[in-house]
Amino acid sequence: MTPVTAKIPQHVAIIMDGNGRWAKQRGLPRLEGHRRGVETVRTVVDAAREIGIRYLTLYAFSVENWQRPPDEVSGLMGLLDFFLRRELDNLTKNRVRLHTIGRTQELPENVQRELRRVTDATASFTEWHLVLALNYSARTEIVDAARAYAAAVAAGHTSPDATTWDTFGRYLYTADLPDPDLIIRTSGEQRISNFLLLQGAYAEMVFTPVLWPDFGAGDLQAAVTEFARRERRFGLTSEQVKPATS
Ligand code: IPE
Ligand code: IPE
Ligand code: MG
């Protein structure tokens, strides 16, 4: 029998959605939903480690999210700053390394400073990884990768003839990260919203109606259990991927 641990996804990526609706249902301002969403992040980071998920990516702010009302955008940036200040101790204590993907250079200066502080302080950890997708969009990621790749070609560092997915992948934000095995989206929406379009090529998808502020350790475990039930075939036949039974 396949050992149970083999079915724990190495990398889980979550589209954290539903903060606004959670607040609306309670007659609260949207920002209150985001505040509660930050508490969920702490719960889920801890739960992921307990389950044995080595890489956890959280979609926290998309390139498109800048178009929200200015008050909401600045509120989200404030919460991000607050989260980074508060979590440094927890991440260090649990030996979790922080990474970011996205155009972080366009974030407010104070947020960039906190990001640098936490990524630097946790840079030596190797076992657990928290990846925040910030000012992220899969389309801007491919554009940034294409630009960097073209510059490398122009500088004579690489040749188009030698391009493979593996060599091109080094120009993506995720160069140091494995592909997600499981992508979860909360709030009942069933779409990708410009998230890890290439890296998620063979990810299993789990959609849950639970709104992000209500999402808990049990919901994460349920998604992992669902993942374990799935047969990933990567284009092969079921017979080819089934472990030989005796
Ligand atoms: C997710 O919750 C958080 C971000 C996108 C930053 P939403 O704010 O999208 O919540 P809904 O979709 O309006 O309920
Ligand atoms: C996706 O959620 C982005 C994040 C979770 C950061 P959105 O709420 O922005 O996505 P759409 O607009 O419903 O597709
Ligand atoms: Mg939403």
Is 73 close to ligand 2, i.e. is its CB under 6 Å away?
no
CA of 163 to the centre of ligand 1 (A): 38
Nearest CA to ligand 1 atom 12: 18
Instruction: Tell me how far the alpha carbon of residue 9 lies from the centroid of ligand 3, in angstroms.
Output: 25
Q: Is 21 in the pocket of ligand 1 (CB under 6 A)?
A: yes
User: Helices 70-93 & 109-122, crossing angle to 10 degrees?
Assistant: 20
Q: Please indicate whether residue 68, judged by its CB atom, sits closer than 6 Å to ligand 1.
A: no
User: Is 17 labeled as catalytic in the residue annotation?
Assistant: yes
Domain boundaries of the chain, sorted by first residue = 11-137+178-241
Q: Which ligand is nearest to the CA of 194?
A: 2
Ramachandran angles phi, psi of 96, nearest 5°: -105, 125
Give residue for tokens 């929406």.
189
| Rounded Cα distance, 19 and 38, in Å | 10
Q: Check if 227 has its Cβ closer than 6 Å to any atom of ligand 1.
A: no
Compute the Cα dihedral for 209, 66, 69, 84 and give only its sign: positive
CATH 3.40.1180.10 fits 11-137+178-241, yes or no: yes
Verify whether residue 219 is a known catalytic residue: no
Q: Which of 17, 79, 196 to mutate to test the pocket of ligand 2 (most atoms within 8 A of CB)?
A: 17
Q: What is the pLDDT along the chain (246 residues), one digit of tens a residue?
A: 444 456 999 999 999 999 999 999 999 999 999 999 999 999 999 999 999 999 999 999 999 999 999 999 999 999 999 999 999 999 999 999 999 999 999 999 999 999 999 999 999 999 999 999 999 999 999 999 999 999 999 999 999 999 999 999 999 999 999 999 999 999 999 999 999 999 999 999 999 999 999 999 999 999 999 999 999 999 999 999 987 765
Ligand 3 centre to CA of 68 (Å) is 11
CA dihedral (164, 170, 176, 182) in degrees, to 10, reads: -50
